[in-house]
Structure 1
Amino acid sequence: MAILDKPGVVDAGCFALPDHAVISLEGRDALAFAQAQCMSDVAALADNGWQWSGWLTPKGRVIALFAVLRLGPEQVWMLVPDGDTEALAARLRGLVFRSKVKVEARPDLHVAGAFAAPEGARGAVLAGDAASGVELDLGDGTLPRRLRVSAVAAGPDPAAQARWHAFDLAHGWPRLPPSQTEAWTPQQLSLDRLKAYSVRKGCYPGQEIVARTHFLGKAKRGLVLFGAPVAPAAGSDVLGDGKPLGTVACSGDAAGSGFPAAALALAVLPLERDDSATLEADGRTLAVLPLRDGLAR
């Protein structure tokens, strides 16, 4: 059964992603508001297009990461993993002023995933609509994944949810816990790999810092994927030969990732470093792993 064939029925292959939620922007100025606040070039999206994005502080630090979905000329969704959408929506509403846009957290919408090819979505083009449900292609060209947002909740599957999380980490999509809010710049999280920010569009919070870092070549740290016997806590120091070298941004189980490790971690480290150093976090040895490609949109 196609994921969007019967809006009131859950596809048997889907499982709940309760750590994902939606914020909707609706109204005449929805696109303009999203363009002014998001770090990606939302104005470049056509209807039914989507892209990775985020919201920054004026100092260029990441408040939240999300996917931006353009459902129409007056309707934009932000698909937020790991964030408090009620609090985030409240902060965004404080910036509406006279704009004709309604910003709402949408607890009535449920997010589900499946390790299967999408029925209609392809790459950065979504399928469906707000009424029947929306489908995204979140595969990497080798391993298929589809994500659905609709009014119907899927059943829980903790093992599949952990595998989904591991896939994100393996491909360099940071799953930031609350402790890492406003800790990192887009460059430090290597979000250029996912085309998640723009250095050429007009003003947005943090744009000056992001553009200056890009054009002056001052990015000194970036994202590194590690394997570990146990997931180190976000915020833990990464030590190189016993000396502080970087910081863990997020971590989780390596379930189904195919890597020879029990856990994965994304850490921010200097771009220039001694690769022969013994690396550890939380007292456990880390092994550098290659970040996988294919998730850029």
Structure 2
Amino acid sequence: MPTDLTAQTLLLEGTDAIAFAQAQFTSDVQSLDVGRWQFGAWLDAQGRVLALFQLARITDDALLLLLRGGDASSMAQSLQRFVFRSKVKLRVPEPCALATGPAHETYAVHREGDAYVFGCGGHSMIVGATEADDAWRLPQVRAGWPWLPNDALGNLLPPALSLERLQAVAFDKGCYPGQEIVARLHYRGGHKRHMHCVVLSQPIRGGTVLHHKGNSNIQLLDVAGDDATFEALAVIDDGLVDSLQNASNIDTDENIALRVVQSWTA
């Protein structure tokens, strides 16, 4: 989760920017209109999520990625290896303040001065705000919009993050890194870890791994809340959930109780 409330972004610019993103990322970038955003991910060859982001088409030939975890400079350096002769430039703006704005249509994006406003339904995210805040975090936890801690990068497959539900994965476009694994999991199933929204008995840092009977079954992602309630997105092994008599309550070895309030299977 973004502990310092700064937004890390990555710009892809040039006549081949859309085609380049289409070949690298999981979403159908070519279907994205100017002034709209979509969820997307960049995977390794084994299908594990290296980066999760909100991808906005800001002009015909430019994309802005708002990273939901990870380091923009490292991602740009890794992507640069695949540019070859493509007419695309990768640029990493300085990190900027991330704040909550008024309600705007989900998936709409527009520019206000030097800031970009990502519509999220009942609220918006202002990338480049004058003052940061995290009021956007709790409604996004409840909606199942994950933010990946560093510990989770490169360790989770798309079904564990409900990326199909977020329309972050396209199954009818050309190849991209990890595409074969994604397609196999989609058509054959078999993945044994999924994401849940949980209420915690006490505050705990996002990214913490919790244990049940000695096994590391629970990966916390982002945590949000106030003085009374602490909610989080957590990736939990299906076997643990299935083994409980009351699947909505989990007691961990760390003496932290979790109450499952929402689950997503894909």
User: What range is the shorter-chain TM-score in?
Assistant: 0.7 to 0.9
- Rounded to whole Å, the distance in 2 between the matches of 1:212 and 1:265 is 25
Question: Which of 231, 235, 257 is the matching residue for 2:204?
Answer: 231
- Rounded to whole Å, the distance in 2 between the matches of 1:233 and 1:67 is 20
- Rounded to whole Å, the distance in 2 between the matches of 1:53 and 1:61 is 13
1:146 aligns with 2:161: no
1:204-246 residue CA offsets vs partner (Å, 9 max, x unmatched): 111100001101122332111211122266251342xx36372
1:87 is displaced (CA, Å) by 1.1
The equivalences for 1:269-288 within 5 A come to 269-270=237-238, 273-277=242-246, 279-281=250-252, 282-288=254-260
Give yes or no for contact 2:150–2:207 (8 Å, CA) kept in 1: no
Question: Which of 137, 149, 152 is the matching residue for 2:119?
Answer: 137
1:255 is displaced (CA, Å) by 2.9
- Letter of the 1:236 counterpart: V
Judged with a 3 Å threshold, the aligned counterparts in structure 2 of structure 1 residues 238 and 261 are, in CA distance, closer, same or farther, namely farther
- TM-score, with structure 2 as normaliser: 0.86
Aligned equivalent of 2:172: 200
Aligned equivalent of 2:236: 268
Question: Which of 100, 113, 121 is the matching residue for 1:114?
Answer: 100
Judged with a 3 Å threshold, the aligned counterparts in structure 2 of structure 1 residues 132 and 181 are, in CA distance, closer, same or farther, namely closer
Judged with a 3 Å threshold, the aligned counterparts in structure 2 of structure 1 residues 133 and 19 are, in CA distance, closer, same or farther, namely closer
1:253-279 residue CA offsets vs partner (Å, 9 max, x unmatched): 3239xxx73342422321771342551
- Rounded to whole Å, the distance in 1 between the matches of 2:32 and 2:92 is 22
Question: Which of 21, 38, 42 is the matching residue for 1:34?
Answer: 21
Partner SS, residue 235 of structure 2? strand
Aligned equivalent of 2:52: 65
Give yes or no for contact 2:141–2:224 (8 Å, CA) kept in 1: no
- Rounded to whole Å, the distance in 1 between the matches of 2:183 and 2:214 is 31
Partner SS, residue 273 of structure 1? helix
1:176 aligns with 2:148: yes
Aligned equivalent of 2:66: 79
Question: Structure 2: which 5+ runs fail to align?
Answer: none
Q: Pick which of 243-252 and 32-41 moved more.
A: 243-252
1:49-105 residue CA offsets vs partner (Å, 9 max, x unmatched): 210011100100000100111112211111113321111111111211111100011
1:22 aligns with 2:28: no
1:285 is displaced (CA, Å) by 1.4
Aligned equivalent of 1:3: none
1:111 is displaced (CA, Å) by 4.5
Judged with a 3 Å threshold, the aligned counterparts in structure 2 of structure 1 residues 155 and 132 are, in CA distance, closer, same or farther, namely closer
1:216 aligns with 2:188: yes
What is the RMSD computed on CA atoms of the aligned residues? 2.6
- Rounded to whole Å, the distance in 2 between the matches of 1:286 and 1:146 is 29
- TM-score, with structure 1 as normaliser: 0.78
Question: Which of 108, 128, 135 is the matching residue for 1:125?
Answer: 108
Partner SS, residue 165 of structure 2? helix
- Rounded to whole Å, the distance in 1 between the matches of 2:63 and 2:167 is 19
1:41 is displaced (CA, Å) by 0.7
Partner SS, residue 67 of structure 1? strand
Give yes or no for contact 1:19–1:81 (8 Å, CA) kept in 2: no
Aligned equivalent of 1:253: 224
- Rounded to whole Å, the distance in 1 between the matches of 2:142 and 2:215 is 24
- Rounded to whole Å, the distance in 1 between the matches of 2:192 and 2:263 is 18
Identity among equivalent positions (%) equals 29
Partner SS, residue 187 of structure 1? helix
Aligned equivalent of 2:38: 51
- Rounded to whole Å, the distance in 2 between the matches of 1:83 and 1:49 is 23
1:133 is displaced (CA, Å) by 3.8
